[in-house]
Chain A
């Protein structure tokens, strides 16, 4: 089975790109290919002109996996320090950077807690903080806002745009189609293929729908010839 077929995509820097689609659409596979964790059976991918998976490419990419992957038997701070060191941060700069990213996710006062003691939502926030830590040029975020309460979710989006203003690029996946309205560009994936791509306004205008959800349904119907 191929999870993705015929996906050609170029992501310009300085944008938030939302990968949208149902479970099994190929969103996570696409992210994993960009990380070099999954090798495509055909085709190739590059980041900043370097082949994906190359350590020099990986050094410029921050990653938040869909399932939280943290050492639950270490503290929040120790987790961040580990990931920071792997990306070459050290000493005072590492500590300062850890504090900065924990402030972004509102967990500064929990930095000494074991990850095992945190709620699921808090763990996701730590996972996001770990992705931000090396101040990467590209952030690959797999479902960054799942389990995050609406207020903080809104803050996350503000922060995404704050990052893109300084030239960073963000590729994220989401289930929440409405929050994808805040992306600069969306890519609708379905069955491993791209249904549409463009700014949220463009894709909505193209199908004449009022919402991204409606847009998606129309696109799927058009593709499957009316059968859903």
Chain B
């Protein structure tokens, strides 16, 4: 990291390689869709130019993801495309555990995904960062450029909206 900040491009290349998958997943899940690759590339170029503003003691991950999130937002702005790219489930596997509500069958997962995507943009973004990208609340706040309190309140509002849907699915089983 220190070498990359000092302008060592080989060191920066290593950072890019290490963080590409996470940056790509972030762009994709935040709605970049097929443009996720371009977003990631542009984000790394911008990040390089902004390395001078990176505090060495800070955490690189949320600093980078904030740039990725911004690039994704710019993509939408440029195209006047407000709606999210449709996300879908990975290959269908039949795993059922009726005793553990945390593990859903595929159909239920698909419904939950649909419910997440139907949340308003603000709530969906915090849910995406916090749970789908498994970021901490602090990292979520930094990535989305929000206050921690805002993240907390949006998360609890989103969970409250998603709960009835899950209860309905559980009831149907």
Chain A bound to chain B: no
